[in-house]
Structure 1
Amino acid sequence: MPAPRNVYIAVVGVGGVGKAFISQLEALSHRLSHRRPPTNISLILVSRSSQILFSESYRSLSFSTWESDLASSKQPVLPIPDLVEYLATAPEKAILVDNTSNQNVADCYPQFLRRGISIVTPNKKGFSSDFALWQDIFAAAANGSGSGGYIFHESSVGAGLPVLSTLKELVETGDEVARIEGVFSGTMSFLFNSFMPVGGGGGQFSAEVKKAKELGYTEPDPRDDLNGLDVARKLTILARLAGLEVESPTSFPVQSLIPKELESCSSGDEFLSRLPEFDGEMDKLKEEAAREGKVVRFVGSIDVAKKDVKVGLEKFDASHPIAALKGSDNIISFYTKRYGSNPLIVQGAGAGGEVTAMGVTGDLIKVLQLLH
Structure 2
Amino acid sequence: MLNVAIVGPGLVGAALVEQLVAHAQSPRFSSLPIAIVGLINSKKMAVSSTPFSATDLADWKTKILASSAAPADLAQFAEKLAAIKGATAVVDCTSSESVAEQYPTWLAKGLHVVTPNKKAFSSDISLFQKIKELSSSPQGPSVYHEATVGAGLPILSTLNDLVRTGDRIVKVEGIFSGTLSYLFNNFSIPGATQKFSDCVAVAKASGYTEPDPRDDLNGMDVARKVTILGRAAGLLGIGIDTLPVENIVPEALRTVSTADEFMNRLPEFDDHFKKLNDEALESGSVLRYVGTVDGSGSQSSVKLARFPLDHPFAALKGSDNIIAFTTERFPIPLIVQGAGAGAAVTAFGIFADLIKVCERFGIPSAQL
Query: What TM-score comes out, normalization by structure 1 length?
Result: 0.92
Alignment correspondent of 1:3: none
Give ranges in structure 1 of 5+ residues lacking alignment.
1-5
Q: How many residues align?
A: 360
Deviations 1:203-241 (A, max 9, x none): 111111111010000011111101100000000000011
Instruction: Establish whether residue 367 from structure 1 lines up as the match of residue 357 from structure 2.
Output: yes
> What is the CA distance between 1:39 and its match in structure 2?
5.6
Alignment correspondent of 1:323: 314
Of 168, 179, 189 in structure 1, the residue corresponding to residue 181 of structure 2 is: 189
3-state SS of paired residue (1:91)? coil
Amino acid at match of 2:153: L
Of 341, 350, 354 in structure 1, the residue corresponding to residue 344 of structure 2 is: 354
Alignment correspondent of 1:250: 241
> What is the CA distance between 1:43 and its match in structure 2?
1.6
> What is the CA distance between 1:305 and its match in structure 2?
1.7
Deviates more, 1:297-306 or 1:57-66: 57-66
Alignment of 1:1-372 (within 5 A): 6-30=1-25, 40-55=33-48, 57-61=49-53, 62-70=56-64, 72-141=66-135, 144-145=136-137, 148-197=140-189, 199-340=190-331, 342-371=332-361
> What is the CA distance between 1:267 and its match in structure 2?
1.4
Looking at structure 2, the residues matched to 136 and 86 of structure 1 have their Cα atoms a distance apart, in angstroms, of: 23
Query: Could you tell me whether the CA contact under 8 Å between 1:44 and 1:58 is conserved in 2?
Result: yes
After superposition, the Cα gap between the structure-2 partners of 1:360 and 1:72, relative to the gap in structure 1 and judged at 3 Å, is same
Deviations 1:89-142 (A, max 9, x none): 11222111111111111111011011110111111111111111110001011x
Deviations 1:289-319 (A, max 9, x none): 1111111110011111243210010011011
3-state SS of paired residue (2:85)? coil
> What is the CA distance between 1:80 and its match in structure 2?
2.4
Looking at structure 2, the residues matched to 114 and 200 of structure 1 have their Cα atoms a distance apart, in angstroms, of: 57
Deviations 1:181-209 (A, max 9, x none): 11001000001011112x22141111111
Looking at structure 2, the residues matched to 171 and 190 of structure 1 have their Cα atoms a distance apart, in angstroms, of: 31
Amino acid at match of 1:43: I
Deviations 1:125-165 (A, max 9, x none): 11111111110001011xx2585311100010011100000
Amino acid at match of 1:248: G
Query: Could you tell me whether the CA contact under 8 Å between 1:96 and 1:119 is conserved in 2?
Result: yes
Amino acid at match of 1:257: I
Deviates more, 1:186-195 or 1:240-249: 240-249
Amino acid at match of 1:133: L
Query: Could you tell me whether the CA contact under 8 Å between 1:296 and 1:314 is conserved in 2?
Result: yes
> What is the CA distance between 1:175 and its match in structure 2?
0.8
After superposition, the Cα gap between the structure-2 partners of 1:304 and 1:40, relative to the gap in structure 1 and judged at 3 Å, is closer
After superposition, the Cα gap between the structure-2 partners of 1:34 and 1:145, relative to the gap in structure 1 and judged at 3 Å, is closer
After superposition, the Cα gap between the structure-2 partners of 1:112 and 1:306, relative to the gap in structure 1 and judged at 3 Å, is closer
Give ranges in structure 2 of 5+ residues lacking alignment.
363-368
Looking at structure 2, the residues matched to 92 and 238 of structure 1 have their Cα atoms a distance apart, in angstroms, of: 32
Deviates more, 1:322-331 or 1:58-67: 58-67
Deviates more, 1:275-284 or 1:67-76: 67-76
Looking at structure 2, the residues matched to 371 and 60 of structure 1 have their Cα atoms a distance apart, in angstroms, of: 22
> What is the CA distance between 1:60 and its match in structure 2?
2.1
Query: Could you tell me whether the CA contact under 8 Å between 1:167 and 1:241 is conserved in 2?
Result: yes
> What is the CA distance between 1:179 and its match in structure 2?
0.6
Alignment correspondent of 2:366: none
Query: What TM-score comes out, normalization by structure 2 length?
Result: 0.93
